[in-house]
Amino acid sequence: MNSAVIVAGGSGSRMESSVKKQYIRLNEREILSLSIEAFEKTNAVDEIVVAVPAEDINYVNEYIVDKYEFKKVRCIVSGGDTRQASVLSALTSCNKNTDIVAIHDGARPFVSKDVIEECFKQAESFGGAACAVKVKDTLKSADDELFFSGTSDREKLYMVQTPQAFNYKKILEAHKLAKESGFLATDDTQIAEKFGMKVKIVEGSYLNIKITTKEDLLISQGILNSLNK
């Protein structure tokens, strides 16, 4: 059995919007609804657990899950103060017979069916997998006075995206250990690596952006228009 966890706890502060970013509409579709739909439509996923702020649960249930008739959404759970806490809340709510779980950002609405399925496939083989794209720009380090101090080898550098898929029991245990030890991470691959899991790279897409700023909204509208042609 495969599960998907979709985390949508953003506030929209960097978007400078009165509407939380996951509920902003692109061509009359909420960003979160597009993200859920991507997992709803793939045979690789049996159930979906969505984590949102507690005050949004009824709204998401009525105006997204029910409105678009998503059948795979098992439950909508209250997220935590951090993304990491929200992921743990959702993981503990997954079906206990889950073999592989994919964790995805609710603000990444353009993930493809092929990428989702490949992440599950590689996670089954290696215990962990995450989509990523190669860095395009030259990356520099800087000193305390803001002078360049070094150049990274971009051939070995990737920008990690979601979904990130893992053996369910192992990533759940890793998240519990992270909480107990006070280890804070920016994504789930970091937690997996911290507690002994290896994560296979799956080729992602530069279209699979995370919508965070007003500029991202402009780019997203262009992507959506292109995909709908």
Query: CB 29: neighbour CB atoms within 10 A?
Result: 15
pLDDT value of residue 10: 64
Apex 124 CA angle, 136 and 88, nearest 5:
80
In the chain, where are the structural domains located?
Answer: 2-227
Lowest mean pLDDT among 2-6, 7-11, 27-31, 162-166: 7-11
Q: Reply yes or no on whether the pLDDT at 6 is more than 70.
A: yes
pLDDT digits (tens, 9 = 90+) for 120-155: 999 999 999 999 999 999 999 999 999 999 999 999
Reported confidence tier of residue 74, pLDDT bands at 50, 70, 90 = very high
CB 38 within 8 A of CB 113: yes
pLDDT value of residue 14: 61
Q: Are strands 2-7 and 47-52 parallel, antiparallel or unpaired?
A: parallel
pLDDT digits (tens, 9 = 90+) for 20-53: 889 999 988 999 999 999 999 999 999 999 999 9
Fold of 2-227: Spore Coat Polysaccharide Biosynthesis Protein SpsA; Chain A (3.90.550)
Average per-residue pLDDT in the chain?
94
Stated pTM of the model: 0.95
